[in-house]
């Protein structure tokens, strides 16, 4: 399925990600405070190449702001949920 940021950047995300126990486990740990696992969740969703594509898209003056990366990942997850519910 295609996940899309509001600015138009698109990513192909596997339909099976929503049914992957390991991904769900990582999300649960993030909710419990293990915020560093957001990197693992990003790689589950986008793969290493997708994470790099997103990082380059968000880069400002040689830095990828962590808050912007987290916001974009959240937006992509919301986009996937909207597609599944439509």
Encoding tokens for residue 75?
């937006």
Q: Which residue has the tokens 């830095």?
A: 63
Full-model pTM: 0.85
Residue 15 has pLDDT above 90, yes or no: no
Encoding tokens for residue 44?
């589950």
With a pLDDT cut of 90, the percent of the chain lying above it is 74
SS3 86: coil
Q: Beta 2-4 vs 10-12: how paired, if at all?
A: antiparallel
Residue 85 has pLDDT above 70, yes or no: no
Taking only Cα atoms into account, the Rg of the chain, rounded to an integer number of angstroms, comes to 13
Domain boundaries, the chain: 2-80
Task: Give the chain's mean pLDDT.
Answer: 90
């Amino acid at each position: 399925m295609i996940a899309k940021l509001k600015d138009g950047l698109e990513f192909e995300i596997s339909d099976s990600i929503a049914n992957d126990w390991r991904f769900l486990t990582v999300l649960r740990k993030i909710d419990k405070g293990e915020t560093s696992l957001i990197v693992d969740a990003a790689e589950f969703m986008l793969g290493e190449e997708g994470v790099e594509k997103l990082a380059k898209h968000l880069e400002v003056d040689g830095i990828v702001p962590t808050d912007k990366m987290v916001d974009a990942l959240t937006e992509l997850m919301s986009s996937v949920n909207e597609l599944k519910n439509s």
